[in-house]
Amino acid sequence: MICPECGTEFPKSTGRGMPRRFCRDECRTLWQNGTSMLVNEATRLRRNSKDCLFNARLYSGDTSDRWQAAAVKYAEEAARLDALVTERRGR
Ligand SMILES: [Zn+2]
């Protein structure tokens, strides 16, 4: 097994229960903290996206288009982080 946090190889756990994913508790904690940071960042990006959409409705023409484009960018980045979070939580 390779620890996804630090890359250290460790023996596969034997016996009952869920197989270990991390070489040590510290790595599990670091990994979970990293995942929470990604969740928070995705939330922030979605909020930015909403604000941009709000501004897009306030303005017209090019200015509105620029806000709209920014909203899409934020939403895409949030979706990318969501996928990362799902991947990190998986297995
Ligand atoms: Zn580790």
Confidence (pLDDT) at 16: 83
Please state which of the ranges 18-22, 61-65, 72-76 shows the lowest mean pLDDT.
18-22
Distance 28 CA to ligand 1 centre (A): 7
Ion ligand 1 contact residues with beta carbon within 5 A: 3, 5-6, 8, 23, 27
Task: Please work out, in degrees rounded to the nearest 5, the angle formed at the alpha carbon of residue 73 by the alpha carbons of 48 and 76.
Answer: 95
Residues 6+ apart with CB under 8 A from 54: none
Distance 20 CA to ligand 1 centre (A): 11
Distance 90 CA to ligand 1 centre (A): 17
Confidence (pLDDT) at 14: 84
Residues forming beta bridges with residue 2, ordered by sequence position: 9
2-58 pLDDT tens trace:
999 999 999 988 888 888 899 999 999 999 999 999 999 999 999 999 999 999 999
